[in-house]
Structure 1
Amino acid sequence: MYKNILVVLDPSADSQKALNRGLKLARLQSASLTLFLSIYDFSYEMTTMLSGEERESMRSGLVEGHEQWVEDLLKDYDTRGLELDIKVVWHHRPFESIIKTSLEQKHDLIIKGTHRHDKLQSVIFTPTDWHLLRKAPCPVLLVKEHEWPPHGQVIAAVNAGADDKPHQSLNERIIKSAKGMSELLEAHLHLVNCYPTAPLNMAIEIPEFDTSDYQANVRNYHQESLGKLAEEHRLLEENLHVREGLPEDQIPALADELDAELVVLGTIGRTGITAALLGNTAEHVIEQLNCDVLAIKPEGFKSPLAE
């Protein structure tokens, strides 16, 4: 699956969740790892007490110090037989340095630890995680606290009822990635499909409108569509889940019920004002999950930073 992985480290964290995941995946599929750290100190750029050469020397010293920190960190891990590279860069925007490095070194997966963000702050100051979901050129694995137990549960979230080619293509990519991860982890694979409730205004404006019949038809449609997807990919019928409601509510609820270790979903990469005001479904789902999330990009996606 993934052979060239970028692992984002966090020197402020007590435990390196992303590193743990990266080492496990590297051993499972003989992948190479780049251990990445983006550092920056605004005071070094603003001081007038130092010449440009002195500032550059101090930046180099900080980079070397953090490289040593990574090497010391690795002493607590078993890295025998693994292909590892350490990369520390000086950059004031971490997400840009992560994405540029992944583009330059052609990484096929980015792994980063994550946590819940303050909702208001997330709207005003978009977290690095959200930038990666929207702009990274490859899949992004965001790691939370949940362990990866043997014979666990992996959930693939699809839009089975979509009849347009982009969504169908994304469904295929999601399922393929989820199958690959479930096989690597020896886990059980589940498919979930969410569908909306009947619009309340229809029942109010049209008294004769039968909401229960409407919902039954919608549910049947999504069940049949999900069944066809499962049949194409030879997945077990008992592992199919059709849920009424918003994905950001239903997917985390299912993950809790199954005690899932990983949810695989697609992200459309919405950016700009639309993203600030509405966000992306993937981001809303991630905020509610207590397990890892693997975000898959649509076919043909090109990172804005690649231009």
Structure 2
Amino acid sequence: MSIYNNILVVANLNSEEQPALVRAVQLAKKSRSRSRISFFLSIYDFSYDMTSMLSHDERDAMRRGVIQQREEWMKTLAEPFTDDSFDLEIKVVWHNRPYVAIIEKVFEDSHDIVIKATRKHDILESVIFTPTDWHLIRKCPAPVLLVKNSDWPANANIVASVHVGSENPTHIDLNDCMIQQLDSLTERLGATGYLVNSYPVTPANITIELPEFDPATYTDAVRGHHLTAMKALRQKHGYAEEQTIVEQGLPEDIIPEVAKKLDAAMVILGTTGRTGLSAVFIGNTAEHVIDKINSDVLALKPDGYISPLAPNEE
């Protein structure tokens, strides 16, 4: 299966640097088949729509002028990256909600990934995710890669947060999908892949309610179950034991710890289940995980996910 050959890159309007475009070009150049990159920007200025002194045609003309200016600006930014090995198009639209415009473009041209830069805080060295980022993570039907910066380190590590120990078909399928993406990315970006899983801490109230309960035995049993499940998963996909990590704790603690320990350049997270997001990565939990990760983040959804912005087929 060909992965990430129809790429939508969201332009960074506030900077001459375009790390998302850099990452897209890296993927395109390493593709086994010809790739297509759409360099995309959604712009809107409220004042252009509210100027009562101008006619409808005059406002349209002004909007077209602004769009043309931005297209020329984007062509200048993209020029150093143009290459005969892939196709690159420039697209600017007038829309008051950027995330809606992005998702509409995904549906229109069947893009298989969206790549967008995140904002990096200069003082705390942390990544700040914008409302558009969160809307895309929750509602975009395609995988969303949020890029921290354009530099991709040599001998990089990529961490995939898998969910082992569950017999839920959605989790099983998503694990396979995540590892498939991991394999493709490690090959194309020259990286090493790791699988990480966390398992829950034994609830303290159980020992109070059940005096005969042995928490140590229970914890050993849970850990053993997860280790066995991880072994089966790594053997299924041809990963070495040293490329798998199983730790006790909450995912919002374990995933950032492992990412920091491995100096991961990218973390892959799965989002499944309720309203398109799992109980593991939903709401505040997802934000806690991602806010602690100072690396690229790839958010994947399961097969069959239906975006709330999917066009009606009536």
The correspondence of residues 77-156 of structure 1 with structure 2, limited to 5 A, is 77-81=80-84, 82-115=86-119, 127-145=131-149, 147-156=151-160
Aligned partner of residue 151 in structure 2, secondary structure: coil
Structure 2 vs 1, CA of residues 194 and 115 (structure 1 numbering), >3 Å: closer, same or farther? farther
SS of aligned partner of 1:45:
helix
TM-score w.r.t. structure 2 length? Answer: 0.88
- The answer to whether the 8 Å contact 2:16/2:77 transfers is no
Name which of structure 1's ranges 37-46 and 90-99 shifts more when overlaid on structure 2.
Answer: 37-46
* Same amino acid, percent of matched pairs: 49
Q: CA RMSD in A?
A: 2.2
Please report how far the alpha carbon of residue 211 of structure 1 lies from its aligned counterpart in structure 2 after TM superposition: 1.8
Where 1:74 maps in the other structure, the secondary structure is: helix
> What do residues 169-194 of structure 1 show as CA deviations (whole Å, max 9, x unaligned)?
11111111111111212221111011
Letter in 2 for 1:19: L
Q: 1:210 Cα deviation (Å)?
A: 2.0
Deviations 1:24-74 (A, max 9, x none): 111111411000000001111222121111111111111111001101212
Cα 1:281/1:178, change in 2 over 3 Å: farther
- Mapped contact 1:170–1:298 kept (Cα < 8 A): yes
Letter of the 2:181 partner, please give it: S
Secondary structure of 1:305's aligned partner: coil
| 1:69 pairs with 2:73 | yes
CA contact (8 A) 1:155 1:191 kept: yes
Matches of 1:269 and 1:48, distance apart in 2: 47
SS of residue matched to 1:10: coil
Maintained 8 Å contact 1:134/1:270:
no
2:7 and 2:111 in contact (8 A); partners too: yes
Stretches of structure 2 lacking an aligned partner (at least 5 in a row): 122-128
Residue 8 of structure 2 aligns to which amino acid in structure 1?
Answer: L
Deviation at 1:149, TM superposition (A): 2.0
Q: Is the 8 A contact 1:162 1:168 kept in 2?
A: yes
Letter in 1 for 2:83: R
Compute the displacement of 1:115 (Å).
Answer: 3.3
Report what 2:172 is aligned to: 168
Structure 1 unaligned regions, length at least 5: 118-124
Could you say which residue in structure 1 is the equivalent of 2:126?
Answer: none
**Retained in 1: the 8 A contact 2:10–2:114?**
yes
CA contact (8 A) 1:267 1:282 kept: no
- Alpha-carbon shift at residue 217 of structure 1 (Å): 1.1
Residue identity matched to 1:260: A
Pick the aligned partner of 2:5 from 3, 6, 11.
Answer: 3
Cα separation, 2, equivalents of 1:87 and 1:244: 46
Moved more, 144-153 or 24-33: 144-153
CA distance in 2, matches of 1:18, 1:62: 23
1:80 corresponds to which letter in structure 2?
Answer: D
Residues 195 and 116 from structure 1, CA distance in 2 versus in 1: closer, same or farther, beyond 3 angstroms?
Answer: farther
Q: Is the alpha carbon distance of 1:267 and 1:57 closer, same or farther for their aligned partners in structure 2, counting shifts above 3 Å?
A: same
How far does the alpha carbon of each residue in 1:269-297 deviate from its partner, in whole angstroms, 9 at most, with x for none?
7559x99xx60654432221111111111
CA contact (8 A) 1:145 1:290 kept: no
Q: How does 1:1-307 map to 2 (within 5 A)?
A: 1-29=3-31, 30-75=34-79, 77-81=80-84, 82-115=86-119, 127-145=131-149, 147-268=151-272, 279=283, 281-306=285-310, 307=312
Instruction: Please say if residues 147 and 261 of structure 1, whose CA atoms lie closer than 8 Å, have aligned partners that are also in contact.
Output: no
Q: Which amino acid in 2 is paired with 1:111?
A: I
Greater helix percent: which structure? Answer: 1
Counterpart in the other structure of 1:120: none
Q: Classify the secondary structure of the residue corresponding to 2:30.
A: helix
Query: How far apart are 1:126 and its partner, in Å?
Result: 7.5
Once residues 133 and 224 of structure 2 are traced to their aligned partners in structure 1, the CA distance between those partners, rounded to angstroms, is 36
The DSSP-based 3-state class of the residue aligned with 1:194 is strand
Give the whole-Å Cα distance in 2 for the aligned partners of 1:87 and 1:193: 40
Q: Distance in 2 between matches of 1:127 and 1:215?
A: 39
